Amino acid sequence: MGVLRTLIDDITVGTDKTLARTLIGVPSGFLLLQAWFTVKDNPTRTDAEAVLQKIITSGLSLAGQITDTGTSGVGAMQFELYPTDTLLLTPGQIWLFDIRIKLNSGRVYPGEEGVILTRDRITRATS
């Protein structure tokens, strides 16, 4: 079900970004209940020490939403990143991320793991 060694290299610091993800292989009879998108500079840090963490469910929130709970075996989700989030990701630094998903059975699985390389913005104006 999980995807390993993914590279996200299209985030510009200080801008909005929607991370849309598809999850193939949701077990038959189960549904995606919750998902976490976590960014750290070191995998040994606790989640409380994460640079960024978004938690979503099937209900729409500022963090994003599970848009397809996976009844067909394929789930979909999106995490919403805002300028205040992406400003935390220093350009040129390698950031580690993962997405963990929780099924309605209560079990938690890896959804995706990889690295983020951010770009610095050229224009600083926001209004």
pLDDT at position 35 over 80: yes
- Any domain includes 124: no
Query: Are the C-beta atoms of residues 8 and 98 closer than 8 Å to each other?
Result: no
Give me the percent of the chain exceeding a pLDDT of 70: 99
pLDDT at 1: 66
- Is residue 125 a part of any domain in this protein? no
How does DSSP assign the chain, residue by residue?
--EEEEEEEEEETTS-EEEEEEEE-PPTT--EEEEEEEEESSTTS-GGG-SEEEEE-SS-BTTEEEEE--TTSEEEEEEEE-HHHHTTS-TTSEEEEEEEEEETTS-EEEEEEEEEEEE--S-----
When pLDDT is averaged across residues 45-74 and rounded to a whole number, the result is 97
Taking a C-beta distance cutoff of 8 angstroms, is the pair 113, 6 a contact? Answer: yes
CATH code for the domain in which residue 114 is found: 2.60.40.10
Q: What's the pLDDT tens digit per position in 74-91?
A: 999 999 999 999 999 999
Residue ranges making up the domain that contains 85: 3-119
Counted domains in the chain: 1
Domain contains 127? no
State the pLDDT confidence band at 121, using cuts at 50, 70 and 90: confident
The model's pTM is 0.93
Find the mean pLDDT for residues 58-67. 98
Rg over CA atoms, the chain: 15
